[in-house]
Chains A and B, each alone.
Chain A
Amino acid sequence: MAYTEEELKKELETKEYEYGFYTDIESDTFPVGLNEDIVRAISKRKEEPQWMTDWRLEAFVAWKEMEEPEWANVTYKKPDFQAISYYSAPKKKDKYTSLEEVDPELLETFNKLGISIDEQKKLAGVAVDIVMDSVSVATTFRDTLAKKGIIFCSISEAIKEHPELVKKYIGSVIPQKDNFYAALNSAVFSDGSFCYIPKGVRCPMELSTYFRINQAGTGQFERTLVIADEGSYVSYLEGCTAPSRDENQLHAACVELIALDNAEIKYSTVQNWFPGDKEGKGGVFNFVTKRGICHTNAKISWTQVETGSAVTWKYPSCILKGDNAIGEFYSIAVTNNFQQADTGTKMVHIGKNTRSTIISKGISAGKSQNSYRGLVQVNPKATNARNFSQCDSLLMGNECGAHTFPYIEARNNSAQIEHEATTSKIGEDQIFYCNQRGIDTEKAIALIVNGFSKEVLNKLPMEFAVEAQKLLEISLEGSVG
């Protein structure tokens, strides 16, 4: 049967968000609202030392003075910060020591998500830390990693067990007062992942964190801290999903990466929060601060595939502090229906001979708005800094928008900066070419979109690349008008 574009369009609109289920797990949720007592209560619940409580309170005081930023190219109804519950955790009986003790409902959730936390995963060689609502529920492969001296656990455990590391590095890249959402996160973050790779160690497997918002009326505020000591290497993956709900849920995370001399961190994200339904109702507000610092000869590489969230506001950045440091940013942002994304990166060149590469691919369909916003800053002492940026946008249908806002500031005459951007639609001749060779329109579009995003997809670790490719097809097929 001939498959027309109209049908495709319809199918796409009604395509259900397949991770939109809700798991009925008894959970321990704080009352809604935010004040100093809530901050203290979170800290107390997490059995945190005094310095951590003080650090949170300091952030809270700063947050109260701050105003929600409005410069991003997105419009949404501002969340009411007093109507959110700031802490929700699956009710714990006791600490799990092995997987058999984990709530079977919870395991069922992860199976549905396609993440097996059981031994099968050994074959894939991925260590996973899972954060449900605000709390880390399971970390796999800890022992294997511990043999190499790698610490991979939830951040609340790290606060208790490795306070010296946490104290030294938390807030060193994203200070509490950095911005509105970072301050909020610093005050109320409930959990997240912590990872430390010792000197000269190459992490033998991909480390992975899986985030899921489950409870209604809660916000998720997780904090990730990755420290790669001198000469080490780690590849870190992050994935996220949420149930379909009518109201907007808030996700405000902070990710801090520290790459000491000669270290390398590869951080990949597949973001698939619930994007809202086809009328634009519901969906997650994704306001994330991600930043990494590179010391001498270090390298940080951000790769992201953004397909979810109603509103995204996210700029993974690299501070190239040491000489010869390298920063990379590869991104695919897909928006459909009423989604809005304002995403990009910041590359701050401070050290000599620092290099950065930005490849950003935006695909907008339906009635969505997709913006790239980036900053390349070369400071006076950054001699021989080098940057290459490329931002390409693909438009599908005539009701969407693609925007680019690149800021380039050069204060050193030896800097070499190139920036290019293009915006276009899928060429009719390209589709015709495929049709002519017996490839139907649907497949042709998938093919073209894949080709368009290939430069970025290639940068993803194997397991993610497959998932990402599938995601792209789901989000976009047939949306050519």
Chain B
Amino acid sequence: MELKEKMLSSFMVLEQELDLSSPVHEIRSKSMKTFEAQGFPTKKQEAWKYTSLAKLLKNNYSIFPKKESSIELKDVKKYFLYEIDSYKVVFIDGVYSPFLSDTTHDGLDVCLLSAALSKTKYKARIEKYFNKVAKQDESLTALNTSFAKEGAYIFVPKSTVAEKPIEIIHFSTGEQGDFLLQPRSLVVVEENAQVQIIERHQSLAPHDVWTNTVTEIFAEKSANIDYYKIQNDRTDASLVDNTYISQDQQSNVKVHTFSFGGKITRNNLNFYHKGEHIESTMKGITIIEDQQHVDHYTLVHHAQPKCESHQDYKGIFSDQAVGVFNGKILVDKIAQKTNAFQQNNNILLDDKATINTKPQLEIFADDVKCSHGCTIGQLDEDALFYLRSRGIPKKEAKGLLTYAFANNVLESVAIPSLKTRINKLIAMKLGVNLGHDL
């Protein structure tokens, strides 16, 4: 059976166990219709020109977990950033694991979307925010919406600062065979509130796992959000990450994406500006090898005056890895005094590696400063020679130079232990011995 048909029939199965009278169900069935009409994206679509999902569509995925899986804390401890000092929302094969999680309702809500969707207490908020910023006519997002059941729900009320970072981790155990996971998260940060979130998807066994996740983030007036995505998965796991961010005036949202592994990784990162004096920052480091494929597809929609956006993506590609960067900056007519910057630098280390990049500016306002820069190149021969003439072997010298190239994106990481962690990861990936423990 084709995957599309399987999704359609699975939806009917899902409907049997859901509360059909809830307004959310209306959204679900509407989204299903969108997906039915559009199907999975193909390379013929401009947005998917350089990334083919054909490889993923062949698999016979399980849609619902067949049995409950459990994992031992000691096996997965290394994937947590903190042992105790953070809130944690952990899912195993799409099912919430209370044992590994550490949620709260004290001051702020860090809990489950399934609870938020069903409890009357949250009804007003769900009505206000759920599926409000996600793009309605994007087929994979629509697919996720129609199956939206479980994920993280984070609510930070007015003038609250979340004291600890929040970790959202999705494990897949392989006990379900090839598995299609569709987590859905909702993050609402009210006026003047502040939060740091780390998201991670991790596959634990050799199975084809495809995660199609949607995260909606609302940053209200003067809110401050720091979001980190760590993508360092097995090479049989694929990820399509759809993140939609709505920003009100004076809010500041930063998203860092670290893509170090996975079969096919696609990041759809969308920023929508709803007020003035907004700041948006997107940074990314991609270091991949073998036949991995990472695609960053970003959109910043400047719809209000006096906002700023910064993008800085670095990529290092070895073997036959393929990198794609598609950054779009859209400046509306009324968005005067916009400052939008975009930078994409790439290094190809082997002659079979490929990079396709398409920085795109669409500007309708005249009083703006917009620029993009994009480079594809190699390591500086002179710098390499300098290091080698001082007795550093070629391999190490190359590692050092690439490490330096990637490293400056880390400067804006605000969580020290995460910074150290990523720094170590990069060093390890590039085979650099830093000579000291960070």
Contact = CB atoms under 8 A, between A and B. Distances in A.
Given A398-B333, A402-B363, A420-B374, A408 B356 contact: yes
Contacts of B356: 407-410
B374 A416 contact: no
A400 B348 contact: no
Contacts of A404: 359-361, 372
Nearest to A377: B356
A317 to B, nearest CB: 17
A288 to B, nearest CB: 23
A403 B361 contact: yes
Nearest to B346: A410
A204 interface: no
Nearest to A408: B357
Contacts of B95: none
Interface string B366-391: 11111111111110000000000000
A425 B370 CA distance: 10
Nearest to A413: B348
Contact of B365 (A398, A413, A414): A398
Given A398-B336, A423-B361, A417 B366 contact: no
A222 B378 CA distance: 44
B353 interface: yes
A398 B337 CA distance: 12
A413 B350 CA distance: 6
B45 to A, nearest CB: 11
Interface in A176-202: none
A399 to B, nearest CB: 7
B376 A410 contact: yes
Interface string B339-361: 00000001011111111111111
Contacts of A144: none
A422 interface: yes
A398 B372 contact: no
Contacts of B348: 410, 412-413, 415
A401 interface: yes
A481 B366 contact: yes
B363 A423 contact: yes
Nearest to A419: B374
Interface residues of chain A: helix, strand, loop or mixed (majority):
strand
B352 A380 contact: yes
Contact of B373 (A403, A412, A420, A424): A420
Contacts of B355: 408-410
B79 interface: no
A413 B351 contact: yes
Contacts of B122: none
Nearest to A417: B376
A412 to B, nearest CB: 6
A71 B46 contact: yes
A395 interface: yes
Interface in A118-134: none
A405 B358 contact: yes
A397 B336 CA distance: 11
Interface string B141-156: 0000000000000000
B363 to A, nearest CB: 5
B376 A416 contact: yes
Contacts of A408: 355-358, 374, 376
Contacts of B363: 393, 395, 401-403, 423
Interface size class of chain B, counting residues whose CB lies under 8 Å from the partner chain: 35 or more
A415 B355 CA distance: 11
A411 interface: yes
Given A405-B360, A419-B359, A413 B371 contact: no
B85 interface: no
Contacts of A383: 351
B377 A417 contact: yes
A410 B325 CA distance: 12
A418 B375 contact: yes
A417 B358 CA distance: 13
Contact of A401 (B357, B362, B371): B362
A421 interface: yes
Given A411-B354, A419-B359, A400 B378 contact: no
A410 B354 contact: yes
A414 B361 contact: no
A423 B341 CA distance: 11
Contacts of A398: 333, 336, 365-367
A413 B46 contact: no
A195 B356 CA distance: 37
A234 B375 CA distance: 33
B371 A423 contact: yes
B351 A414 contact: yes
Contact of B370 (A412, A419, A423, A481): A423
A417 B374 CA distance: 8
B346, B354, B369: which has the most chain A beta carbons within 10 Å? B354
Contact of A395 (B349, B366, B378): B366
A29 B192 CA distance: 73
A217 interface: no
A311 to B, nearest CB: 18
A38 B181 CA distance: 59
A419 B375 contact: yes
B396 to A, nearest CB: 19
A396 interface: yes
Interface in A68-115: 71
B369 A424 contact: yes
B374 A418 contact: yes
Contacts of B351: 380, 383, 412-414
A406 interface: yes
A398, A402, A412, A423: which has the most chain B beta carbons within 10 Å? A423
Nearest to A393: B363
Given A400-B366, A409-B356, A410-B348, A415 B376 contact: yes
Nearest to B376: A417
A451 to B, nearest CB: 18
Interface in B103-137: none
Contacts of B361: 393, 402-404, 421, 423
A234 B359 CA distance: 35
Contacts of A419: 359, 372-375
Contacts of A393: 361, 363
Nearest to B373: A420
Given A406-B358, A410-B348, A420 B372 contact: yes
A413 B360 CA distance: 23
B347 to A, nearest CB: 8
B137 to A, nearest CB: 18
Contacts of B366: 395-398, 400, 425, 481
B78 to A, nearest CB: 33
B354 A409 contact: yes
A413 B375 CA distance: 12
Interface string B34-52: 0000000000001000000
Given A399-B333, A416-B376, A419-B375, A407 B367 contact: no
A35 B334 CA distance: 49
Given A404-B359, A424-B368, 17 more contacts: A398-B333, A400-B366, A405-B358, A407-B356, A408-B358, A409-B355, A409-B356, A410-B376, A413-B348, A413-B349, A413-B352, A413-B353, A413-B378, A414-B351, A419-B372, A421-B371, A423-B361
Task: Pick the 7 closest A-B CB pairs, nearest first.
Answer: A413-B348, A395-B366, A417-B376, A419-B374, A401-B364, A423-B370, A422-B371
22 contacts: A395-B363, A395-B368, A400-B366, A402-B363, A403-B361, A403-B363, A405-B360, A406-B359, A408-B355, A409-B355, A410-B346, A413-B350, A413-B353, A417-B375, A418-B373, A418-B374, A420-B372, A421-B359, A421-B373, A423-B363, A424-B368, A424-B369
